[in-house]
Structure 1
Amino acid sequence: MSFAQACRKVSTLFQGIAIVSPATLGPHSRHTLINGGALQIADSFKANTTILSAECSKNSSYSFLAFRSGLWQGQFAPLAAKRTSVRKLSISSKIINNLIAKASPEANSEEETMAESSLDVNVGFIGAGQMAEAMARGFSKAGVVPASQQFATDPSEARREVFSSFGVTALQSNVEVAEKSDVIFLAVKPYVVKKVLEELQTTLTERHLIVSIAAGVTLEQLQAAAGKGARIVRVMPNTPCLVGETAAALSLGKHATEADGELVQKLFSAVGLVHVVPENLLDAVTGLSGSGPAYIFIAIEALADGGVAAGLPRDIALSLAAQTVKGAAEMVLQTGKHPGVLKDSVASPGGTTIAGLHELEKGGVRSTLINAVLAAAQRSKELSK
């Protein structure tokens, strides 16, 4: 759907719309006249601006046609009338699409579809760190496993409180989590895994599926600690699970069934991409996609620093850098073309891009990234010994 079509649809579905941020909307808020309508704005907006339908009658002159169509995917600027300063907003197109869906007659069927996609399983997390939080929030947001069907425990009271804050039941012990869960995620440090599984041996039953995300802990080691017959799946996810964009790989233990594999795939497919691989490739997965987000964060930071050095304001440089990485990745995934082909299509003879690529080659960026993956993969192997 184009921006213009979206505007027309929202304008039809809503008599008016206001964009407000309760945290920032103060006494100095104003109305900016736009195309015969109005956009309510504050002096400043935070990134996560709340979008609400306006409290207005059918005769209200509020209009959704408030954004320049050429900026549909990124920074939006109100088309201000004379005597009114322009205020820049950052609104995700996903939020606008959600508005359309909520206003649409098909909204209820969409909610029903989400309910149908919910799995009839209880999921427990032993270890409530950042990775577990990413998965728990991701499963909940995707509607695959509601927070009400999730349980977690952690030695840290602060971490338990974090999970409680988004609806997960925080428990005091590992055994309690196991008793209430069908699928148990081991999200603890590798050196703790054996102790945890030995503690749970008398609690585990045929209904339990153990999913380990501990780097370097092999299926054989997990099986020995959990006991004979335990159904185990080993997974290497990454933190973009939190925004529904994980890149994960899994391997089945010898007692795990095909249905177990399908269940774990469904969980992770709801929050990104997942591949099934032989276990001997999981160290490589760890080095690439497991640790990979950190490599990309450095790349984004460096690109933004370059933009600042070239004269851009920091916020604009960072936004452009992040969106550039995101867009480039989508081109690889959606077109199926080799990155080298896509790279060549940007680098015209004697142009700016080839000059920049020359500097990257001089700096050894390729070999550095390759070495980073190999070093992380090697460390994963070391942890399994």
Structure 2
Amino acid sequence: MKVGFIGTGSMGSVLIDAFMTSGALMPNQVFASNRTAEKVALLAQRHPGLNVCSSNAETVKNSDIVFICVKPLQYKALVEEIKDEVKQDQMLVSITSPVQIRHLEQALACKIAKVIPSITHLTLSGASLCMYGTRIAPEDRLVLEQLLGAISKPLEIPESHVRISSDFSSCGPAFISFFLDQWVEAAVEVTGIGREQATSLAGEMLLGTGKLLTEGGFHPLDLQERVAVPGGITAEALALLRQSLNGVFHQLIATTHAKYEEDLKKCDGLISDTKT
């Protein structure tokens, strides 16, 4: 199987690095192109044997599956560039949430899927969110999910839930890291603990908590009840958090959804008029 990547920026390179680390793909199976040729060249240096393509059309010509890892507003130009090269038996996988499957099925004759990856795949963990177009057969899903299964836990979701699901799986690492960074910074200022030590403690705690929630049979409320003894230190701090964070997560969801709707409208205007 030959796998192409159009766009090797942040998430494109995450996917390539993760597939290589896991052994799911060998460098000679990968074809990649990018507007900035130096980015692909750097990937080829990290993974000798990776095929550097001079154009997106060349990537498509050489690949069975093509991951599209570009920004939403770049899709219209990209579709125009590759639409005469795609074949009906090819699978094109978009990783951009505002670009709808219907947009791509209207514009391209191949099989269309959408996957929202996560930076957590660099450690071969986290969820990859999978959505499928009308031309995708069960065997196509199996091939894609076996590939993604080497670096993540593939989860099929309805496209209507892509934004809220991405808040957890894709944006979540940044949100949690922000919370931990603020906590560590306060700990350093108030107590004098070393930043490196506090960060290491926080990371190990987060890793263990994730395992309790995914493997240990715990629900978030169960963990709170198990750790917070009534009248104890943890219970006192939780009361403070409940009061201070009241409404914050509703605002967070409103913010991510508003930006998504804004991007979706832009994509509708740009891509919907592109036909096969």
Q: TM-score, normalised by structure 1?
A: 0.65
Residue aligning to 1:269: 149
Q: Give the unaligned 5+ runs of structure 1.
A: 1-120
Q: CA deviation at 1:171?
A: 1.5
C-alpha distance in 2 between matches for 1:141 and 1:352: 42
Q: Which has the higher contact order (CA 8 A, sep 6+)?
A: 2
Partner of 2:222: 341
Residue 318 of structure 1: which of 179, 186, 199 is its match? Answer: 199
Q: Which amino acid aligns with 1:344?
A: E
Matches within 5 A, 1:1-385: 121-167=1-47, 168-227=50-109, 230-308=110-188, 309-364=190-245, 367-385=247-265
SS in 2 for 1:305: helix
* Aligned counterparts of 1:187 and 1:199: Cα–Cα separation in 2: 15
Aligned to 1:128, the other structure's residue is in SS state coil
1:303 and 1:235 map into 2 onto residues whose CA distance is 32
Amino acid at match of 2:56: N
Instruction: Tell me the percent identity.
Output: 26
Number of aligned residue pairs: 262
The 3-state SS of whatever aligns with 2:247 is helix
Q: Which has the larger radius of gyration?
A: 1
| Cα gap change, 1:147 to 1:246, in 2 (>3 Å) | farther
Deviation at 1:353, TM superposition (A): 0.9
Provide closer, same or farther for how the CA distance between residues 370 and 169 of structure 1 changes in structure 2, counting only shifts above 3 A. farther
1:273-311 deviation per Cα after TM superposition (whole angstroms, max 9, x unaligned): 221112111122223322111101102212222331322
Unmatched runs of 5 consecutive residues or more in structure 2: 266-276
Deviation of the 1:375 alpha carbon: 2.1
Which amino acid counterpart does residue 149 of structure 2 have in structure 1? S
Aligned in 2, Cα 1:158/1:369: closer, same or farther, shift over 3 Å? Answer: farther
Query: Is contact 1:134–1:239 with CA below 8 Å preserved after alignment?
Result: yes
Which secondary structure does the structure 2 equivalent of 1:384 belong to? Answer: helix
Distance 1:294 1:134 in 2: 15
The one-letter amino acid paired with 2:82 is: L
Show CA shifts across 1:42-86 (max 9, x none): xxxxxxxxxxxxxxxxxxxxxxxxxxxxxxxxxxxxxxxxxxxxx
Question: Where does residue 20 of structure 1 map in the other structure?
Answer: none
CA distance in 2, matches of 1:165, 1:350: 57
Q: In structure 2, how many angstroms separate the alpha carbons of the residues matched to 1:124 and 1:226?
A: 16
TM-score, normalising length: structure 2:
0.90
- What amino acid is the match of 1:153? S
Q: Which structure shows the higher helix fraction?
A: 2
Deviation digits for residues 307-359 of structure 1 (CA, Å, limit 9, x no counterpart): 31322111101111111111111111112221101111100122221122122
Deviations 1:126-174 (A, max 9, x none): 0011101111111111111112211111111331122112222222100
Residue 335 of structure 1 aligns to a residue in which SS?
A: coil
